[in-house]
Amino acid sequence: MKIGVIGTGYVGLVTGTCFADSGNDVICVDIDEKKVQRMQNGEVPIYEPGLNRVFDRAIREKRLHFTTRIEEAFKESEIIFLCLPTPPGANGQADLSFVLDVANDLGDLFNKYPGYKVIVNKSTVPVGTADKVKEKIAQKTDTEFDVVSNPEFLREGAAVEDFMKPERVVVGTTSEKAADLMTTLYEPFVRSGNPIIIMDERSSELTKYAANAMLATKITFMNEIANVCEKVGANVDNVRRGIGTDTRIGKRFLFAGIGYGGSCFPKDVQAIHHTADEYGYEFKILDSVMKVNESQKVSIVDKMKLYYNGNLEGKTVGIWGLSFKPETDDIREAPSLYITEQLAKMGVSMKAYDPEAIETFKEASSDETLSKMQFVEDRDSVIDGVDALIICTEWNEFRRPDMDRFAEVMNEPVIFDGRNLYDLDRARDAGLTYISVGRPSVN
């Protein structure tokens, strides 16, 4: 098939590349000329494991092309994916201006190149957006077309794998013609028998928000269980194992920590809450989810204040991990941003390392915070001569350090672990003071 992808952010680029890999001809469009040039030269502009390999192959086999002109992609394609940004606008509602501006251009192009096409909303968009896009295009043209909702469920850091082997594909359309085309397109990805679920547009749009809000709630619930564990002297690892074996609950996404971050959960929880509000429904549980997550992100700072009796000024603290989760350089809504900001304000000096996210972290932080921070090139240099270590992100390389080295090179072997990386006995044997989330402290 011939496919156009408008917007080459992380969703658009993964979508375009993976569709090219399954044998389609794909033209990706972006307004950023420099970025388009880089991609034309074979460069992948984002860090996403496995993407380079598939991208190189698609370029080599001449099935993946880049342009700054929507028209070029439009005239050739049977299906056009909109993978545009929908940033939080006023009141936490997603800002649709990028999507609707492009819909407007598509209307004109339908007149210039008449013929049936399917326009697909891949970006996370509020309920009712498919109707709005349809209306916008229909204002300009009489040509037959369909607008389909097809939300993505890709995790950053595992996006290629998730795209290639989706647990489900959700397609929102009431048009049989569009449903058939979408099914043909996705069939190669669901050979193992996972479903392509066809439903109406609004249900499909809501499915995306419901999935992310459910997952954010699940994490938040476990974070609150962890907070209760700390109060009553229980261990959240045991509780997690105890409940996760119930298949109704499931083992995954039950890890307590310093809160969820990233570009998706915080924005989507806010957006579905707002949509409900607009329709006169108060989504109460999500009020709590947002509130708990905010305090969970800085819970480590509270634990430090308690440990040092409020005297943190003048301390030097090491930081392992800055990105919101491993295998990404994405720093959006990362707990590290809030933790470092608070520590800098309290006069704490910091020495930090992250395998991918140092540059993005610098871009997102204030001068005031950065003036208290030093960045180093490797995990081990962080801990030399620091008074304590904070673990913000569970990168693999932090899971198996030389445990004896902490006591050898740190001023004091104190670890505040926001990701529960170490077994408590292992920490005790290494002579650490080890304060984690929802588990008894070791000292």
Q: For ligand UGA, what does the binding mask look like between residues 255 and 284, x meaning CB under 6 A?
A: x-x--xxx-xx--x----------------
Using rule CB under 6 A, residue 254 touches ligand UGA: yes
Q: DSSP assignment, residue 355?
A: S
**Residue 327 to residues 254, 268, 354, 356: CA-CA distances in angstroms?**
19, 21, 10, 8
Q: For ligand UGA, what does the binding mask look like between residues 18 and 57, x meaning CB under 6 A?
A: ----------------------------------------
Using rule CB under 6 A, residue 63 touches ligand UGA: no
Q: DSSP assignment, residue 385?
A: T
Residues 111-150 that bind ligand UGA (CB under 6 A): 124
Residue 5 to residue 27: CA distance in whole angstroms: 6
Instruction: Choose, by CB under 6 A, the member of 253, 347, 399, 441 that binds ligand UGA.
Output: 253
Residues 285-344 that bind ligand UGA (CB under 6 A): 324-325
Say whether 392 is catalytic: no
Q: What string of H, E and C letters represents the secondary structure of 122-182?
A: CCCCCCCHHHHHHHHHHCCCCCCEEEEECCCCCCCCCHHHHHHCCCCEEEECCCHHHHHHH
Would you state the torsion angle of the CA atoms of residues 294, 296, 300, 305, taken in this order, to the nearest 10 degrees? 70
- Nearest Cα neighbor of 319 from 211, 225, 395, 251 is 395
Closest approach, Cβ 192 to ligand UGA, in A, equals 18
Q: Are the CB atoms for 264 and 212 separated by under 8 Å? A: yes
Closest approach, Cβ 307 to ligand UGA, in A, equals 23
SS3 category, 281: coil
Closest approach, Cβ 24 to ligand UGA, in A, equals 22
Would you state the torsion angle of the CA atoms of residues 127, 133, 139, 140, taken in this order, to the nearest 10 degrees? 180
Using rule CB under 6 A, residue 156 touches ligand UGA: yes
Looking at the Cβ atoms of 146 and 156, the one nearer to ligand UGA is: 156
What type of residue sits at position 194? N
Instruction: Choose, by CB under 6 A, the member of 219, 392, 427, 437 that binds ligand UGA.
Output: 219
Tell me how many residues contact ligand UGA (CB under 6 A).
21
Looking at the Cβ atoms of 262 and 413, the one nearer to ligand UGA is: 262
Instruction: Choose, by CB under 6 A, the member of 57, 132, 155, 305 that binds ligand UGA.
Output: 155
Tell me which residues touch ligand UGA (CB under 6 A). Answer: 124, 152-156, 212, 215, 219, 253-255, 257, 260-262, 264-265, 268, 324-325
The catalytic residues are 264
